C-alpha cells in the first residue's frame, strides 16, 4: 500500500479545543527550522517569556512554556510542588479536578476532595471548611475554568482563602488564559498552567506555566527529588532562564514555539482586555442565537465561561447524530459532554481566533438547519 501526503479537511473548530489557528500562526509555524540553542532562537524564547508574563499578568521569573500539552503543565506543577506525605486540598466541579487528584496521589500526597456539582462554581465555604478541618494542608488546587462544564470559579477568593490558611495554590487556567481575566500577581496565584490550543489559538502541544517566588522556594526546600526528570524545574530553568549560556535540557519543539510566539504577539496587538471583551461579546451573541432555538445553558449566568458554552441538548435529539451532521455537512465541530454529562450537553467553544461574529452566526444557522431536519 502506498500512503500519500495527509491533507485534512478545513473545519470550523467550535468545540472545547483545539481552536482555529489563524493564517499568521500557521505561516509562522512553517518558517525555517533552526537549532534550539541558536542565538536567534534563544532570543525568541526570551520574548515568549515576556509575552507569557503579559498574558498571565505576572512578573514571575519562572514563566515559560512546557514542551508538551496542558496535561504536562498540570503535571509539572504537581510534580514540583507535591512531596510524599503532603496534604493537598483539591476542589472538583468537573472532569479536570479528578486529574488533579490523581496527580497528587501519584506523587505521594494525600488528596482531600472538596466536591461541587458539575456546572456549579467551587463553593468557597466548602473550601474554608476543608482548610479548617485539615490544618496540615500545604496546597490547594482548583480549576479556574472547567472545560467539561463551562463554569468559572472565583480564583481570587479561593487563592485568598488558601493563603489565609498558609497553603500555596495550583490553578488550572487551560481554558481561561487570554479568554477571561486572570491576574496572577494581583490575585497571588502561586502556580498556574494553561494550554496553547485554547484561547491563544496556537497548535496543541505546549503548556504555558508560571510559578511565583513562594512556589519556587518550596521547590528549593524539597526533601526529596522531583519524581519526573523531564518536568523538574530545577533542570528546566537552566534552559529557559535568563543566563546568557543556556544549559541543554531537551530539544525544544522549535516550530511549535514559533507558532506560540506569533499567537502571543497577536494577543499583545489586540490588547489583553480587548481579547476578554471580544470573547464576552461573542458569547452574548451566541446566547441570543441559542435562545431563538430553545437551547439553554447548564451554568448560572454569573458563572458562565464566555469561551466555553455548555448547553442542554433538546429532548428527543440525538447528540451524536447532530454533531455528525454538523461535521459532515457544515465542516463544523462542536463538543460532546464528558462523564455523566455525555449525551446531555453540547460544548460550544468560542476560543481565540474562532471567537468571532461570523462563526457564531454560522454555528447558529447550521444548528437550526440540522435541528429542523431532526424534528
CATH of the domain at 325: 3.90.1150.10
**Can you give the residue range of the structural domain that contains 159?**
23-268
- CA dihedral of residues 126, 131, 132, 137 (deg, nearest 10): 160
Cell of 200: 491563544
With 0-12 CB in 10 A as exposed, 13-18 as middle and 19+ as buried, what is 373? exposed
pLDDT at 222: 96
pLDDT at 105: 98
With 0-12 CB in 10 A as exposed, 13-18 as middle and 19+ as buried, what is 5? exposed
Instruction: Dump pLDDT digits (tens) for 283-298.
Output: 999 999 999 999 999 9
Sign of the Cα torsion 178, 181, 187, 192 reads negative
* Helices (H) then strands (E): counts for the chain: 13, 14
pLDDT at 244: 57
Residue 7 within a domain = no
Q: Are residues 285 and 203 in the same domain?
A: no
Q: Are residues 234 and 277 in the same domain?
A: no
Residue 5 within a domain = no
Cell of 207: 503548556
Residue 327 within a domain = yes
pLDDT at 3: 97
Residues lower than pLDDT 50 in the chain = none
pTM of the full structure:
0.97
Instruction: Dump pLDDT digits (tens) for 50-88.
Output: 999 999 999 999 999 999 999 999 999 999 999 999 999
Amino acid at each position: 500500500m502506498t500512503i500519500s501526503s495527509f491533507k485534512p479537511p478545513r473545519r470550523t473548530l467550535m468545540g472545547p479545543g483545539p481552536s482555529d489557528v489563524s493564517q499568521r500562526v500557521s505561516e509562522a509555524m512553517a518558517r525555517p527550522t533552526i537549532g534550539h540553542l541558536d542565538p536567534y532562537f534563544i532570543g525568541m524564547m526570551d520574548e515568549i517569556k515576556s509575552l507569557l508574563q503579559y498574558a498571565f499578568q505576572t512578573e514571575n521569573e519562572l514563566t515559560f512554556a512546557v514542551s508538551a500539552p496542558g496535561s504536562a503543565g498540570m503535571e509539572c506543577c504537581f510534580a514540583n510542588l507535591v512531596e510524599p506525605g503532603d496534604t493537598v486540598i483539591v476542589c472538583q466541579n468537573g472532569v479536570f479536578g479528578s486529574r488533579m487528584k490523581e496527580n497528587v496521589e501519584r506523587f505521594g500526597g494525600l488528596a482531600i476532595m472538596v466536591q461541587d456539582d458539575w456546572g456549579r462554581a467551587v463553593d468557597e465555604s466548602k473550601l474554608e471548611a476543608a482548610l479548617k478541618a485539615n490544618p496540615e494542608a500545604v496546597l490547594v488546587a482548583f480549576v479556574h475554568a472547567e472545560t467539561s462544564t463551562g463554569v468559572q470559579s472565583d480564583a481570587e477568593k479561593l487563592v485568598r482563602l488558601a493563603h489565609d490558611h498558609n497553603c500555596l495554590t495550583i490553578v488550572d487556567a487551560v481554558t481561561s488564559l487570554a479568554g477571561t481575566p486572570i491576574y496572577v500577581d494581583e490575585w497571588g496565584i502561586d502556580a498556574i498552567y494553561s494550554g496553547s490550543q485554547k484561547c491563544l489559538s496556537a497548535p496543541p502541544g505546549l503548556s504555558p506555566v508560571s510559578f511565583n517566588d513562594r512556589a519556587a522556594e518550596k521547590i528549593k526546600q524539597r526533601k526529596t527529588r522531583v519524581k519526573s526528570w523531564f518536568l523538574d524545574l530545577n533542570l528546566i530553568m537552566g534552559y529557559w532562564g535568563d543566563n546568557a549560556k543556556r544549559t541543554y535540557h531537551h530539544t525544544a519543539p522549535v516550530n511549535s514555539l514559533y507558532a506560540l510566539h506569533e499567537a502571543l504577539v497577536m494577543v499583545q496587538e489586540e490588547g489583553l482586555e480587548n481579547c476578554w471583551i471580544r470573547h464576552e461579546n461573542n458569547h452574548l451573541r451566541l446566547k441570543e442565537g441559542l435562545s431563538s432555538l430553545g437551547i439553554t445553558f447548564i451554568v448560572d449566568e454569573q458563572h458562565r465561561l464566555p469561551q466555553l458554552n455548555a448547553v442542554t441538548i433538546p429532548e428527543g435529539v440525538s447528540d451524536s447524530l447532530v454533531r455528525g451532521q454538523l461535521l459532515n455537512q457544515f465542516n463544523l465541530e462542536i463538543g460532546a459532554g464528558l462523564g455523566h454529562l455525555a449525551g446531555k450537553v453540547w460544548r460550544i467553544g468560542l476560543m481565540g481566533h474562532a471567537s468571532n461574529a461570523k462563526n457564531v452566526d454560522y454555528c447558529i444557522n447550521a444548528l437550526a438547519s440540522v435541528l429542523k431536519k431532526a424534528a
